């Protein structure tokens, strides 16, 4: 039972605790670049997750065979292989999507999330846990991209997933789908998530302090009672 | 004239950082101080020009003749990584002061997506040799420009009273957004 809890934890932590986009601040380039529309955001996140899961699995399998000095280069070759697969499949099956994502599919190679997870997790843990970790981080990345792109598409083009939501009388805020909107939305979201985490931490601290104080008060009354 | 347009386009109009979102990591990471921003910008420009030259030859004289264009991602990244390593060794031997100024930034550049992005743009847009070099130089200058402006603003920002949750990366991103807005003013130039 305990083992299952820890496996769930391997998956879950990527979603919020170490969310790649908001907490680790990794993979910022694609996060900003492809979130002009929800469709692109989802496609990018799925492509990244695919590469992340397979490269984490493979790296974890061969982790004892790779000498320490050349590990980064080996990881990059493994990652590049899977990125090439994704790139070619996208070009063949979804040519329009591939065109609108431009160079950002090939650029998954240098996405720090993948190398970061390879170095921090897959190189130290067994393949099964590495897959869970990769899936968790992929999910976290997907959620972050969906959130960011929904806000941008909603305000910038009045729609989500291409379906118009706001009426025509609403003047679209074009700046939101331009680069400037990406930076500002991402910055604000990251700031809010930090403030929230900060507040949670403070509340927890106050709670602990309260328990501590009440314990102390109890002890001191006990002592006083004994003295009387 | 054509070359000038490529240069201006890469440097300001389609600035790598503020319009294409390439190289955001160093842009956020190394923009606290102007002095280190200048060093990082110089190192990146240097590597960009070299990458432009090398990837041009690699793509047009090895990958295309042997019909293995699908290997461009792994081959570019390996060439860039070894190039950076090589440059680091040469600089260390030739000029100690330059090594001290650029040294620590060079390894970081390997995983800078702006470099790989540059190589991919060159093969995608089918630039000739001179155009590739000018494009690399323009992209480097644009990157340096954005980085130096950002570091100047961030030095002032140290004195500002930023809410706690927004300190560090979030406020930097918001400032970058305003900067991107300013750079949009160049859009009508070409």
Rounded to whole angstroms, the Cα distance separating B74 from A83 reads 9
Residue range B91-148, pLDDT digits in tens: 888 878 777 776 667 777 776 788 888 988 888 888 889 999 999 999 999 999 999 9
**Residue among B70, B112, B181 minimizing CB distance to A88:** B70
Length of chain A: 228
Residue A33 lies inside a defined structural domain of this protein: yes
Residue B90 lies inside a defined structural domain of this protein: yes
Residue B169 lies inside a defined structural domain of this protein: yes
Residue A60 lies inside a defined structural domain of this protein: yes
- Give me the number of domains chain B comprises: 1
Residue A11 lies inside a defined structural domain of this protein: yes
Is residue A159 helix, strand or coil? strand
Best to test chain A binding among B71, B74, B116, B164 (most A CBs inside 10 Å): B74
Residue range B75-88, pLDDT digits in tens: 888 888 888 888 88
The H-or-E segment that residue B169 falls in is helix B169-183
Indicate the Cα dihedral angle A57, A58, A62, A64, nearest 10°.
-30
Cβ of B113 and A179 within 8 Å? no
* pLDDT recorded at residue A47: 93
Residue range A13-36, pLDDT digits in tens: 888 788 888 887 787 888 888 888
Residue B25 lies inside a defined structural domain of this protein: no
Q: What is the DSSP string of B95-127?
A: -HHHHHHHGGGHHHHHT-HHHHHHHHHHHHHT-
Residue B38 lies inside a defined structural domain of this protein: yes
Is B24 part of the contact surface with chain A (CB cutoff 8 Å)?
yes
Please give the residue of chain B at the shortest CA–CA distance from A192: B165
User: In which domain, by residue range, is A151 found?
Assistant: 2-203
The H-or-E segment that residue A217 falls in is helix A179-227
Residue B22 lies inside a defined structural domain of this protein: no
Residue A215 lies inside a defined structural domain of this protein: no
* pLDDT recorded at residue A1: 42
Residue A119 lies inside a defined structural domain of this protein: yes
- Confidence grade of residue A5 (pLDDT, cut at 50, 70, 90): low
Mean pLDDT of chain A: 86
Return the bridge partners of A163, or none.
Answer: A160
Residue B14 lies inside a defined structural domain of this protein: no
Residue A210 lies inside a defined structural domain of this protein: no
**Residue among B25, B112, B174 minimizing CB distance to A184:** B174
Residue range B5-37, pLDDT digits in tens: 888 888 888 888 888 888 887 788 777 788 888
A-side interface with B, Cβ within 8 Å?
25, 28-30, 32-33, 73, 76-77, 80-81, 83-84, 87-88, 103, 106-107, 109-112, 115, 175, 178-184, 186-188, 190-198
Residue B8 lies inside a defined structural domain of this protein: no
User: In which domain, by residue range, is B50 found?
Assistant: 33-183
Residue A219 lies inside a defined structural domain of this protein: no
Return all residues near B83 (Cβ < 8 A) that are at least 6 apart.
Answer: B47, B50, B51, B54
Residue A150 lies inside a defined structural domain of this protein: yes
Q: Looking at residue A226, what DSSP letter applies? A: H
Give the lowest-confidence range in A11-25, B58-72, B166-180.
A11-25
- Give me the number of domains chain A comprises: 1
């Amino acid at each position: 039972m305990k083992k299952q809890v820890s496996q769930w934890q391997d998956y879950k932590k990527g979603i919020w605790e170490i969310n790649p986009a908001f907490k680790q601040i990794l993979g910022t380039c694609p996060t900003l670049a492809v979130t002009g529309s929800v469709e692109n955001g989802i496609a990018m996140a799925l492509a990244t997750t695919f590469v992340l899961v397979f490269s984490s699995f493979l790296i974890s399998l061969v982790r004892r065979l790779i000498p320490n000095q050349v590990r980064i280069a080996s990881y990059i070759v493994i990652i590049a292989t899977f990125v090439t697969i994704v790139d070619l499949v996208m070009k063949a099956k979804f040519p329009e999507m591939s065109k609108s994502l431009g160079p950002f599919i090939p650029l998954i190679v240098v996405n720090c999330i993948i190398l970061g997870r390879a170095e921090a997790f897959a190189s130290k843990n067994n393949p099964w846990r590495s897959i869970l970790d990769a899936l968790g981080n992929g999910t976290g990345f997907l959620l972050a991209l969906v959130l960011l792109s929904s806000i941008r598409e909603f305000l910038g083009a009045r729609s989500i997933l291409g379906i118009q939501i706001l009426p025509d009388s609403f003047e679209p805020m074009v700046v939101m789908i331009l680069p400037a909107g990406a930076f500002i939305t991402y910055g604000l979201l990251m700031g809010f998530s930090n403030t929230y985490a900060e507040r949670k931490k403070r509340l927890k601290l106050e709670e602990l302090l309260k328990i501590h104080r009440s314990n102390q008060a109890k002890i001191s009354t006990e002592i006083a009672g004994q003295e009387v | 004239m054509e070359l000038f347009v490529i240069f201006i386009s890469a440097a300001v109009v389609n600035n790598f950082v503020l319009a294409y979102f390439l190289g955001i990591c160093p842009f956020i990471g190394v923009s606290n101080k102007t002095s280190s921003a200048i060093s990082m910008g110089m190192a990146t420009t240097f590597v960009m020009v070299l990458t432009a030259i090398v990837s041009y030859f690699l793509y047009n004289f090895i990958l295309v003749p042997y019909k293995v264009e699908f290997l461009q991602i792994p081959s570019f990244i390996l060439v860039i990584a070894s190039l950076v390593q090589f440059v680091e060794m040469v600089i260390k031997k030739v000029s100690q002061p330059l090594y001290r100024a650029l040294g620590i930034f060079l390894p970081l550049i390997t995983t800078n997506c702006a470099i790989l992005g540059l190589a991919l743009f060159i093969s995608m847009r089918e630039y000739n040799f001179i155009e590739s070099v000018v494009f690399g130089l323009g992209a480097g200058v644009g990157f340096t420009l954005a980085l130096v402006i950002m570091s100047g603003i961030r030095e002032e920002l140290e004195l500002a009273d930023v809410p706690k949750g927004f300190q560090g990366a979030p406020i930097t991103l918001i400032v970058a957004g305003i900067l991107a807005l300013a750079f949009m003013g160049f859009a009508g130039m070409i």
